[in-house]
Every structure is written in C-alpha cells, then in structure tokens.
Amino acid sequence: MNKNMPIGVFDSGLGGLTVLRALQKKLPNESFIYIGDTAHVPYGNKSETAIINYATTLSAFLVDMYKVKMIIIACNTASAIAVKPLKEYFKVPVLDVITPMQKLFKKNNNIQRIGIIGTHNTIKSKSYEKLLFSLNPEIQIFSQACPLFVPIIEEGLENHPIAKLMSKEYLFPLIEQNIDALILGCTHYPILKKTINRFIPPEIEIIDSAEILSSYTKQHLKQQELTNSSPNVTTRLLVTDASDHFNQFARNILNNNFCNIAIINPF
C-alpha cells in the first residue's frame, strides 16, 4: 500500500462533507477522494442488503480507480450496517464514524443519560447502545429516529420552518428525559446544528463524530505508517447523480478547497 495515495471517504450524500471538512482541517497534508451517493440518498430507510451493496460498490470504486490507502465510512447508517463486510472484504484499513466515539465516552464519566438521534436504520441497529453499554452498563440511553432530517438537509431546507417544526417534534421527547448529552448519530445533522441548538437547553452537550473521527484517523495513519509524505495534496469530489445543491453546499462548507466535482457511475 502506498502511503502517498489519497484517503477514500463516502456518504449517501452531502452529510459526509461535515466529516471531510474536519479531516481536511486535522490532516492538511493528505489527499481525499469523496463520494456522495446522491443517486441513492437517503440510506436511512433502505434495506441492509441495499446498503451493503452501495457501500461495497463505492469502496471497490475507490480502491480500484483511485488506489486509496484507507476507506472512511462518513455515514452512520453505512457504518452501523456495512462496516463488518467492508473490513472483511478490503485489504485497506476501513474506519467508521461510530467506533471512535468510545474515545470520548471512556474519558467522560459525567455523562449518564444520553440521547441519540439518527436514521431509522442507525437507531434500529442499536450500534451506539452496544458501544456505550460495553463502556458503562449503568448508562441510560434514549434514542429517536429522525427520518425527515436527511431529506430536509439534502433539499437545502435546514433554515426553513419545516426544519424547526421537525426538530421540535423529534427532540422534545429526548429533552423530557433529562439527557446530559445528545449524540448527532448522522453526519448530516451537524448541518442542522443551529436549529437544533434553539431547542436543546445549553447544559446538554451536543456531540458529533467529525472531530473525534479525524483525531482517530490521524492516530491510525501514524500507527500504520501511512502518513502522506508527498507535497502534492488534492481533494476530489464525486457524486453518483447530478445535484446543484450538493455542488453549492460543497463550495461553502469546504471553502472551495477541492479541485472538481465529477459524476460517476460505479453501479
């Protein structure tokens, strides 16, 4: 494996760009290839078979076409469902967005009542529960599927009254449980943070995985001696279907720090 090859990152759409932004910040000397599977978004209500098929096809495309040295699943739904088959199938390291959360909770014993929001599939998988209970069986977890958040965000409606209405609907039952922290268990949700903050009392800590995952990636690259040593770094964005909103959002969130957006058909 060549350490100067890019890191492959994928998500169902634009949500994983919140992870890519954190990765670019933490690892400015690395190259990235990002795929937004805009032809299949949302993943949150698809079958397990479909999600494993999408995740495997996108990963194979990253490995075969771009010779990536590592795959990052920048999607909680695909992390919850497809991480095991991907790890078994591919020789390159495969990182997911859920596992690194253990770093945070190992350190922070004050958090006892945790709210988790995510897609139907992520909540149904109980991936966060399994991880958190293994660290502390006493912890109390309250989870809530928020199936309309991803379509709202993909449509660019994060500041529209519909986003406020649905935030109230989804978050209120968790707030009533006196949670200490809220995990944004979907990489799209940080885009709604401003709206979410309006409903969540300030004493509740809001946790998203982008920062934690990027530190974890840095550590992993170092341990595996995979840190890039070439001076030429680029970020390329690929989508599986044309989306004007994806392009506009990518320019804003990444501050134009990428070279182009191309449409691919790996399926």
**By C-beta, is 18 or 228 nearer to ligand DGL?**
18
Residue 240 touching ligand DGL (CB under 6 A): no
Among 24, 38, 77, 144, binds ligand DGL (CB under 6 A): 77
Smallest separation (angstroms) from ligand DGL to the CB of 153:
9
- The answer to whether residue 15 forms part of the interface with ligand DGL (CB under 6 A) is yes
Residue number, 43 or 216, with CB nearest to ligand DGL: 43
**Residues 6 or more apart in contact with residue 151 via CB below 8 angstroms:** 42
Closest CA to 144 of 112, 184, 116, 175: 116
Give the whole-angstrom CA distance, residue 19 versus residue 213.
8
Up-side HSE of residue 125: CA atoms within 13 Å toward CB? 26
Site membership for ligand DGL, residue 258 (CB under 6 A): no
Question: Is residue 186 annotated as part of the catalytic site, yes or no?
Answer: yes
Q: Report which of 3, 4, 13 is spatially closest to residue 238, judged by C-alpha positions.
A: 13
Question: Is 130 or 222 the residue whose CB approaches ligand DGL more closely?
Answer: 130
Distance of alpha carbon 145 from the chain centroid: 16
- Structure tokens, 215: 């530190």
Which one of the spans 130-138, 158-166, 184-192, 193-201 is the region binding ligand DGL (CB under 6 A)? 184-192
Any contact of residue 188 with ligand DGL (CB under 6 A)?
Answer: yes
Could you tell me the smallest distance in angstroms from the CB atom of residue 178 to ligand DGL?
Answer: 26
Q: Choose the catalytic residue: 55, 186, 191, 250.
A: 186
The answer to whether 120 touches 145, Cβ cutoff 8 Å, is yes
Q: Which of the residues 129 through 158 are near ligand DGL (CB under 6 A)? A: 150
75 catalytic per annotation? yes
Kindly identify the residues of this chain, within the stretch 197-236, that bind ligand DGL according to CB under 6 A.
none
The residue within the footprint of ligand DGL, chosen from 35, 72, 75, 238 (CB under 6 A), is: 75
Cβ neighbours, 10 Å, residue 81: 27
Give the contacts of 194 (CB within 8 A, at least 6 positions apart): 158, 159
d(C-alpha 77, C-alpha 118), whole Å: 8
**Chain residues in the site for ligand DGL (CB under 6 A):** 11-13, 15-16, 41-44, 75-77, 119, 122, 150, 186-188
